[in-house]
Amino acid sequence: MNLKKVLSPDTVWIDLKADTKQGIIEEMIDRLVAAGKFSNRAVVLEAVMDRESKMSTGMQNGVAIPHGKTDEIKSLVAAVGLNKAGVDFDSMDGEPCTIFIMTLSPVKRTGPHIQFLAEISRLISQASERDKLLACTTHQEIYDLLTGK
């Protein structure tokens, strides 16, 4: 999958401010609303929080992948954000998360969601790549790193 088709400079952020799981999710959703990716914040927030209540999307190595499915979304929406201080996200390894990858997709479409996660996971599976991401100082640097610009 070409990440340029899913990510844009206005959906990658180096400066997430929230310091809680709920806060990170809300902040990312608010920024996606501001970027014009969807308008019904409440429905999208409910979908992501419903998924999160089933099992934490805090993975390991500082990565969290909050996601949700809702008919409010017509095609895959994705975002990547950093909070370099780290946030407790109930991760599998018990460590704080610093890299947040959010995906939102229509209820009946799984292909693009899986393809995006496979591609982004390939990019951040190595510690050196995660370090490069965390070393970014601008939104554009993150975008360029992830999209191979």
Closest C-alpha to 78, from 133, 17, 1: 1
Q: What's the one-letter identity of residue 130?
A: R
b/e burial code for range 66-98 (CB count within 10 A of at least 16 → b): bbbbbebbeebbbbbbbbeeebebebeeeebbb
Whole-angstrom distance, CA of residue 101 vs CA of residue 57? 10
Instruction: Quickly count: other Cβ atoms within 10 Å of residue 5's Cβ.
Output: 13
Q: What is the CATH number of domain 3-147?
A: 3.40.930.10
Q: Give yes or no: 67 in active site.
A: yes
Residues of the chain with pLDDT > 70, as a percent, come to 99
Q: Which of 21, 37, 67, 139 is catalytic?
A: 67
Q: Which residue has the higher pLDDT, 124 or 17?
A: 17
pLDDT tens by residue, 21-42: 999 999 999 999 999 999 999 9
- Determine the distance from the C-alpha atom of residue 72 to the mean position of all C-alpha atoms in its chain, rounded to a whole number: 18
Domain ranges of the chain: 3-147
Whole-angstrom Cα Rg for the chain: 14
Alpha helices in 35-90 (DSSP H): 41-54
Whole-angstrom distance, CA of residue 131 vs CA of residue 124? 9
- Which of 6-15, 51-60, 111-120, 127-136 has the least mean pLDDT? 111-120
The answer to whether residues 75 and 106 touch, using CB atoms and an 8 Å cutoff, is yes
